[in-house]
Amino acid sequence: MHIVGARPNFMKVAPIMREMSRYPQNFNQLLLHTGQHYDENMSKIFFENIKLPNPDIYLGVGSGTHAQQTARIMLAFESILFEHKPDWVIVVGDVNSTMACALTATKLGIRVAHVEAGLRSFDSTMPEEINRILTDHVADLLFTTEPSANENLHKEGIPRDKIYFVGNVIIDTLVCLLPKVKNRTILLKLGLIKKRNKDDRMSKSQRHDEISTQCPKFTRDYVLVTLHRPSNVDRPEKLREILFALKDISQKTPVIFPVHPRTRNKFKEAKMKIDGNKLFILEPLGYLDFLSLMHYANLVITDSGGIQEETTYLGIPCLTVRPNTERPITIEMGTNQLVATERKALIDASFAILRNNRLTTMPSRPAFWDGRAAQRIIKVLTSF
């Protein structure tokens, strides 16, 4: 039984389910959506984009405090486990659904596999950090994405025979969907590219990789922004610093900001106007449209863990508006850097990157970030 609770989980579960379906003699799989984060339109778009089947089971727990949400998930999930009696529960990431379902299954003697295990920010004020630690310490199998995760688990006393370094399943989804980027119209709609005439030739700087050679003539003169963490959007003083920085950056280059409804509400509560010279505020996007914007951006500003990883694979400079990251490999690869939630710090870091016009050479990619992580996971599971 695979567990999803929020949109980042979808991208991680999809390649595992796809690979597992190749072995019907070994696996009978069910997909359960807790409904921790659920928007009918957005979820439908994501499921269609990444070819994830509709959930077999939907709990519909909704939002609430961390305690309320976790308790509702555990109560609802327990009855599902009594009914279906799965051999394994597979959880991904670090949301409340991950931890709640892992604990519930473990207490019923059902084996748990945690995909994306061992990541640590060493910041206990992050709810995700608590979820990661608890899930890792009850799971029977831990699938890691980078060497630092293995080291963290070893230091915490997790038996080595439970830990498998398999790579990053979110990169599996990225690799699978990259060829579809060239067919998206989002950049044309926003006026970020123009159709290429037959006589136009693309310069070497435009041949970033095999995908961009198939794209129309375009400019990379824009910055893509995504923000959602409470530490940034729930504190008006921090949100104001970020907004003023984005407005200043938009004086020099377009800034594209798909805003989640919750973040938009925080702007309204703080009475902030989220308009600017070239600050384009969009509704939330499907994964393919967002991937298209990310793939051709000069710079991505985010507080998302998954986007740090995706920009690392794509070789796109990323500024993470946080004091720490649980994905240190993205820093080591040279694509990602942390930046303080301060107007001047964010502006200075952004302009320093924009002056260099993206990375001049494609950095090396982390080990096993090759689109085959799900294959390694299934190989391990078939041995049990």
Residues assigned a catalytic role: 228
Structure tokens at 107: 């207490």
In the β-sheet with 279-282, what is the strand arrangement from edge to edge? 279-282, 255-258, 223-226, 299-302, 318-320, 336-338
Asked if 98 and 113 count as a contact pair (C-beta separation under 8 A), the reply is no
Asked if 262 and 240 count as a contact pair (C-beta separation under 8 A), the reply is no
* CA dihedral over 156, 161, 167, 169, signed as positive or negative: negative
Distances in Å between the Cα of 58 and the Cα atoms of 9, 98, 366 are: 15, 15, 35
Distance CA 77, CA 88 (A): 14
Report angle CA 201, 204, 210 to the nearest 5 degrees: 90
Residue type, 24: P
Asked if 88 and 113 count as a contact pair (C-beta separation under 8 A), the reply is yes
